[in-house]
Structure 1
């Protein structure tokens, strides 16, 4: 997949040898004040993962076909300003949470833009790259889950064209973590 330019940023898929930069950005994301409701992993858990975990993740993302692709927005100074990952889910299977998958679809995860780059249109640019890749992979739609209390993310997803599907997911019955499914569909 080729890179696209959005303002002062280049949006592209990561390469397998960029695992250290991917790891650094993930750790920054997990330190964000909203990380507790935005990600399923904690900063402490991510720190304990061996480098081989990040190496394998980056290599899988760069492989063709891989079933997953991580995109980054690279600023003119080389800093990775944001990221999004898209997983391909196959119709007739179950997703990571055990729910049935009805369509071949992209599932957006790991959305993060560094605070100093927010409001620049990067979320939309990252989504555009991820959605284009999912369509190339034969996805019929793209979805994501967002915590009910994460209004900032919900607003960004709406601006990128995603809409609530009406599906809610209870992630943790003990803590009452409810997430809303947002989808981006296109005519067949």
Structure 2
């Protein structure tokens, strides 16, 4: 009895963000089916009661997790990029940083694969995709490209990022590594910026 009370006192009080982050990690590892209360509670070292303190049901957790993904992997990154005044540097840095991050995190690929089968995921993936494409197209417009051409180049940049991310998860050995990867990514950006 004393051990249980001591363990309960030593346990960190979890937030809705903790649960959302755990759900995102599970989605990245094993897809949306991995978002289940009991395994997530075990992963977090807590009970189901903690889950029900924050969420009414699994769908509410999935919604919170997707909102968290949108905030962290899109809005926070765009906000951070805006600190760089030069749009070309901003674009190059965004492409390099996003590509490196995508290579390390399977969540992006998992969510894209799930979007076609799960309406809750599809809505968020659509919104995130439109936001990202809009931002990248805006950067090309800032560089002087007409809106239609800026959108086309933004789409090319985004699909290059997604393709690179998928390959880095599925068959990483086909991609350049280390310094060669940096040179490769710079060459992709050089092509996209060519007039």
Superposition TM-score, scaled by structure 1 size: 0.31
Superposition TM-score, scaled by structure 2 size: 0.31
**Structure with more contact order per residue of length (Cα contacts < 8 Å, sep ≥ 6):** 2
Query: Which protein is richer in strand relative to its size?
Result: 1
Larger Rg: 2
